[in-house]
Structure 1
Amino acid sequence: MTGSTAVHRALDCVDEERAAVEKRDAAFEAFARRVREVPAKSPAAARSQQAVAATPTMATTVQTGRSTATGDRCVTVREAFAETVRPHSIADCETDESLTETIAAELSEDIAVALASETGWTPPLKRAVLETVETRRTEVDVVQQTLRNERETLEDALDEIDEILAWLQSMADESLLQRDFETLRENHDRLAAYRDRLETLTADRQAQFTRSTNRYGPGGTRYRTLVESVYSDCSVRYPLLSSATRLYGICGDCQRTVRAHLTRRV
């Protein structure tokens, strides 16, 4: 019976999500590294460069060269995003999404428009991109920690569940008719204790759902929201609660059966 509950299967879901989140974080790190390598030029520097031009023709050439160079750098940044972050961002998308739409979703609409217009890769734009990436990586760090907490919760719950399942299996291997009154009474008490532990497990899980994923104080995403996202493709929406509730019912049925045998022995 052990290894067959929804909680056991939920561990696989958590591990898969953790792997995906780690890849997303690595993608943002790679993107930030490539962004830092793209030099930015302020409009003031460009105007100074234009002012030293000896003739109007030279001035036009300088201005055109500046626009082309900074525009190309915007293209470089867009290409870096497309090769690093975008594959992980659209992995679960059911419809086609343009590169600009993905950049807007991950970095902001303002940054997406600025990069798409190719009007200039300036220090403020570069700084805005890097600051937004840092914000996203902080969010990823919170998700990673939450997933670690979720796995620990599942492992602790499995210690309880596997113990109860193993005892129920051993109990099923022997007929109740072969047990004396004292043994039956001990079985009844043990089942009552298991039900109490499962009630506590369920209550603790419900309380966990109301907490925030923000470890620095109020705010953040509800723990329930993240759990629902992790198990969205599973057959059971709340695997831990489902397994605990089902096992609680099984223990109750067994307890009633044992009680019936006890009353016939009195």
Structure 2
Amino acid sequence: MTGSTALHGAPDCVDRELAAVATRDEAFGTFARRVRDLQATTPATGRGGATAATPVAMTTAGEASGASATTGGTGCVAVREAFAETVAPHSTADLADDEPLAETIAAELNEDVAVALTAETGWTPTLKRAVLEEIATRRREVDIVRETLETERETVVAAIDEIDEILTWLQSTAEESLLQCGFETLRAKHDRLERSRERLDELTARRQSQLTETTNRYGPGGTRYRTLVESVYSAQPARYPLLSTAARLYGVCGDCQRTVRTHLTRRV
């Protein structure tokens, strides 16, 4: 029956993921605005090296020659608070146990940034740029995931149309008595079933090929499309609803075709 297969629930699953991605992007956008609004302070010139809050890799030559960054400490606190109020709730929503904020920052940005912000000193222009660059990277990744999810939605909607066309025809002929069908009618049914199986074969092949692609539009090394699909449908009985539905319908068409063929041979 149309509308009752595992595939028919796929668009709703994708829509939920798209909503979650949009919320994540909005959270990073808000976080970025709050970070940009925080004025960074260049350490005063003096002896010493990089502050505890700013790892050497994040320190410019001018900043490395400075000493104190007492006013910068409040900046780091403000950044952590902004992160906790914007990004962290979405990052840890699926975790069973509470996660230290520093670990969440390290997971979402990077470990150097997390160390620098946790030390509570040295909200320098370099650290500010580093935070904003990491946010920009995460938002580019979100864009890629969004585009991939939109592609997935287009794929499953198109597949549903194809599946429904085959199911509708099967349902329209289900009540017919094959005993009352003539040879030409039976042959037409047999050919229609063969074409349906071929279409399902092609649909399966296209899907298998799509699953081997990556989500990285900038070159190799991205996430496998298959990985994203498994994540989207992880809570569903069928991890691959399109393939599962196509395979089941292929089997139904095959059974029907064998039945029709039996009746055909009796007419010869």
Q: Same fold (TM over 0.5)?
A: yes
**Aligned residue in 2 for 1:154:** 156
Counterpart-to-counterpart distance in 1, 2:8 and 2:134: 37
| C-alpha displacement of 1:95 | 2.1
Matched, 1:190 2:192: yes
Deviates more, 1:25-34 or 1:169-178: 169-178
Letter in 1 for 2:27: A
4+ residue segments displaced more than 4 Å: none
CA distance in 2, matches of 1:235, 1:189: 33
Residue 136 of structure 1 corresponds to 138
Q: Which of 145-154 and 95-104 deviates more?
A: 95-104
Q: How does 1:68-107 map to 2 (within 5 A)?
A: 69-107=71-109
Partner of 1:11: 11
Aligned to 2:249: 247
Give the alignment partner of residue 125 of structure 1, picking from 123, 127, 135.
127
Secondary structure of 2:176 counterpart: coil
Check the 8 A contact 2:73/2:123 in 1, yes or no: yes
Unaligned runs of 5+ residues in structure 1 are 49-62
TM-superposed deviation, 1:212: 1.1
Aligned partner of residue 45 in structure 2, secondary structure: helix
Structure 2 residue matching 1:47: 3-state secondary structure? coil
**Offset from partner CA, 1:104-138 (integer Å, 9 cap, x none):** 10001111111111021111110000000000000
Q: Secondary structure of the equivalent of 2:239?
A: coil
Structure 2: how far apart are the matches of 1:104 and 1:34? 19
* Deviation of the 1:178 alpha carbon: 2.2
Q: Which amino acid aligns with 2:20?
A: A
Q: Which residue of 2 aligns with 1:31?
A: 31
Q: CA deviation at 1:175?
A: 1.7
Higher helix residue share: 1
Q: In percent, how many aligned pairs have the same letter?
A: 69
Q: Which amino acid aligns with 1:6?
A: A
C-alpha distance in structure 2 between counterparts of 1:200 and 1:264, whole Å: 32
**Structure 2: 5+ residue runs without aligned partners?**
47-66
| Contact 2:40–2:72 under 8 Å retained in 1 | yes
State how far apart, in whole Å, the 2-side matches of 1:245 and 1:118 are. Answer: 58
Q: Once the two structures are superposed, what CA deviation does each residue of 1:216-259 show, in whole Å capped at 9, x if it has no partner?
A: 33221111111111111111111100000000000000000111
Instruction: Look up the equivalent residue of 1:233 and give its one-letter code.
Output: A
The aligned residue for residue 52 of structure 1 is none
TM-score (norm 1): 0.90
| Cα distance between partner residues in 2 of 1:218 and 1:105 | 23
- CA deviation map 1:9-54 (0-9, x unaligned): 11111010000001000110000000000000111xx238xxxxxx
Q: Is the 8 A contact 2:74 2:121 kept in 1?
A: no
